[in-house]
Structure 1
Amino acid sequence: MTEQTAEERPGISAAIVVHKGRVLMVRRRVKEGQLSWQFPAGEIEPGESAEEAAIRETNEETGLTVSAVKSLGDRVHPKTQRLMSYTACEVLAGTAYVADADELAELAWCTHAEIPEYVPYGLFEPVQAYLDETLAR
């Protein structure tokens, strides 16, 4: 079996969902290396945009209906080597819960000050800048 490069594997789209002064974090049942807590995310399906994947994954994982506000950028993730896209999202409807119990163990709405407790290795700079601006209001 050969190892696939970031270009050969589907990209991952993450939703940065901010609501009532907090950001939504989910804890995966299976850790990806150091990654335990992260944003709702999943593979971008064929014919789907990164924004559409972020909206779909958020709904599948947490039951929330969200809309894309803006793209926060792309990178190859330093821990997983996967191509990542980050989309800022707002809640349109629903209450967050663990909708995909096979994939998620729990979720949390984090304050700006709590983010380093959940993600001690730091965030992608454009995501951190967006959260600094949005959650500091």
Structure 2
Amino acid sequence: MTVEVQRAVAAAVVVRGGRVLLVRRRVAEGVLSWQFPAGKIESEETPGEAAARETEEETGLLVVPQSVLGQRVHPMTGREIHYIACRPVGGRAVVASADEVAGLAWVTHGEIPQYVPYGLFGPVQNYLDEALLS
């Protein structure tokens, strides 16, 4: 009997021009439809590398990981998630992976609750409070 271990996920928290990038999943994970660009961390990757790769694959936007905001087991999915602050360095955000992503939005601080009504992970919220309100 083999037990499949779920790989951890890296999520990119990308801020540009006073807004944060969110993507709408084609297939929602429970109530999670809008979220940060994210995906499984491959065995040879750091969480930052995975966050940058997933952002490019899903949105076409090139980003560079800046700092680790924190990690947790997500209360709704049970998956381990690493949140990585990333800086955009090239490209333009579009739906680059139509089989995974149904839409994307650059969201202001005040709009976050409309997209993520259940609230954000504390360290991510603190980062966005600083990054979007300063």
TM-score (norm 2): 0.97
Aligned length: 134
The SS at the match of 1:16 is strand
Partner of 1:73: 70
Report % sequence identity: 61
Q: For 1:21-32, what aligned pairs fall within 5 Å after superposition?
A: 21-32=18-29
Task: Flag the 1:20–1:41 CA change in 2: closer, same or farther, 3 A.
Answer: same
Q: Deviations over 1:82-116 (max 9, x none)?
A: 00000000100011000000000000000000000
Q: Deviations over 1:6-65 (max 9, x none)?
A: xx2100000000001100000001010010000000000011100000000000000011
**Structure 2 segments unaligned to the other structure (5+ residues):** none
The SS at the match of 1:132 is helix
Partner of 1:15: 12
How far 1:3 moved relative to its partner?
7.8
> Pick from 105, 113, 118: which aligns with 2:115?
118
Runs of 4 or more consecutive aligned structure 1 residues displaced over 4 Å after TM superposition: 1-4
The SS at the match of 1:127 is helix
> Pick from 9, 23, 47: which aligns with 2:44?
47
**Structure 1 segments unaligned to the other structure (5+ residues):** none
Is structure 2 residue 58 aligned with structure 1 residue 91?
Answer: no
